[in-house]
């Protein structure tokens, strides 16, 4: 069914592979359409507890938006393209299920923006991050100017945005852009292990953490008020009763996501 994505479900973790290795997994309109479809499926499916996004091949996570689609585009068309990209990446950022980027090579332009829209990032040591749009006379359009500042701070983000300078995985880790650096061979296993731990927790509580942490960056929301609300909501869940009882009874929890 999917032309540009490969979907690999295993033990509650759906690995979504951007599958255009010959074009370094550049994001064309079909990738966005299909990412939207996958996000629908992730929301609906009770079998999918969390998601990994990665790129096909050994060279690239995603080398950016597909530049071939930019030629001859009008201002209005370009704005619609940026809006479509921002909307898809906002869906990833606001997903109630954890979505993690496993960055296996170049994460440039839209690729860096895709990785930044995920809840966090794990990188292989050959990963390279950058926003090279100024090389093309462009600026990032899929949220890069905003999320890069959020994740690494304004000074370094300004430098990377203006210079198109690429950073390697270790520098990305030092800047807080990625949580772990692994070998290329262990990248997916390492990412899966983190998600297995997260998947063993109460799903509604995990969703509450995502919602409250995202509110920090949403001016329309009062994050502290939202935290109070989510804290209260947790008391209405079966999993909270199970979690507290299991602790007091010194036994393992069995969460149902209710």
Burial class (CB in 10 A: 0-12, 13-18, 19+), 103: buried
Of 10, 69, 93, 113, the catalytic one is 113
List Cα–Cα distances, 104 to 50, 58, 60, 101, 221, in angstroms. Answer: 19, 7, 6, 9, 34
**Contacting ligand COA (CB under 6 A), which of 17, 18, 49, 66?**
66
CB of 64 to ligand COA, least distance (A): 3
Q: For the chain, list the strands marked E by DSSP.
A: 5-10, 13-18, 50-55, 60-62, 99-103, 106-108, 120-124, 128-130, 167-168, 180-182
d(CA 246, CA 254): 8
- Among the listed ranges 135-143, 152-160, 188-196, 245-253, the one in contact with ligand COA (CB under 6 A) is 135-143
Q: Cβ of 21: how many Cβ atoms within 10 Å?
A: 15
**Contacting ligand COA (CB under 6 A), which of 34, 93, 113, 133?**
133
24 binds ligand COA per the rule CB under 6 A: yes
d(CA 184, CA 166): 19
**Contacting ligand COA (CB under 6 A), which of 52, 61, 64, 167?**
64
**Contacting ligand COA (CB under 6 A), which of 38, 39, 56, 65?**
65
Respond yes or no: is residue 113 known to be catalytic: yes
Sign of torsion over alpha carbons 51, 140, 31, 17? negative
Respond yes or no: is residue 69 known to be catalytic: no
Q: For residues 160 and 167, is the Cβ–Cβ distance under 8 A?
A: yes
CB of 179 to ligand COA, least distance (A): 23
**Contacting ligand COA (CB under 6 A), which of 7, 67, 194, 234?**
67
Closer by beta carbon to ligand COA, 60 or else 206: 60
Contact positions toward ligand COA, by CB under 6 A? 23-24, 26, 63-68, 106, 108-110, 132-133, 135-136, 138
Which residues are the active-site residues?
Answer: 113, 133
């Amino acid at each position: 069914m999917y032309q540009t994505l490969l979907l690999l479900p295993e033990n509650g973790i759906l690995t979504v592979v951007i599958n255009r290795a010959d074009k370094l997994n550049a994001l064309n309109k079909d990738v966005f359409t299909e990412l939207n479809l996958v996000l629908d499926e992730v929301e609906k499916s009770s079998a999918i507890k969390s998601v990994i996004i990665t790129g096909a091949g050994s060279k690239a996570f995603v080398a950016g938006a597909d530049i071939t689609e930019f030629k001859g585009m009008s201002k209005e068309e370009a704005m619609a393209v940026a809006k479509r990209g921002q909307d898809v990446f906002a869906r990833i950022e606001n997903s109630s299920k954890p979505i993690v980027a496993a960055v296996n090579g170049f994460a440039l332009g839209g690729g860096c923006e895709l990785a930044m829209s995920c809840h966090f990032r794990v990188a292989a040591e050959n990963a390279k991050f950058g926003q090279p749009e100024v090389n093309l006379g462009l600026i990032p359009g899929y949220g890069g100017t905003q999320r890069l500042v959020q994740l690494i701070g304004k000074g370094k983000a300004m430098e990377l945005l203006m210079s198109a300078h690429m950073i390697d995985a270790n520098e990305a880790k030092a800047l807080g852009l990625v949580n772990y650096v692994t070998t290329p061979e262990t990248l997916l296993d390492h990412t899966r292990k983190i998600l297995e731990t997260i998947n063993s927790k109460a799903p509604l509580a995990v969703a509450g953490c995502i919602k409250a942490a995202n509110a920090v960056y949403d001016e329309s929301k009062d994050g502290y008020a939202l935290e109070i609300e989510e804290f209260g909501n947790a008391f209405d869940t079966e999993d909270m009763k199970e979690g507290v009882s299991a602790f007091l009874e010194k036994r393992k929890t069995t969460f149902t996501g209710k």
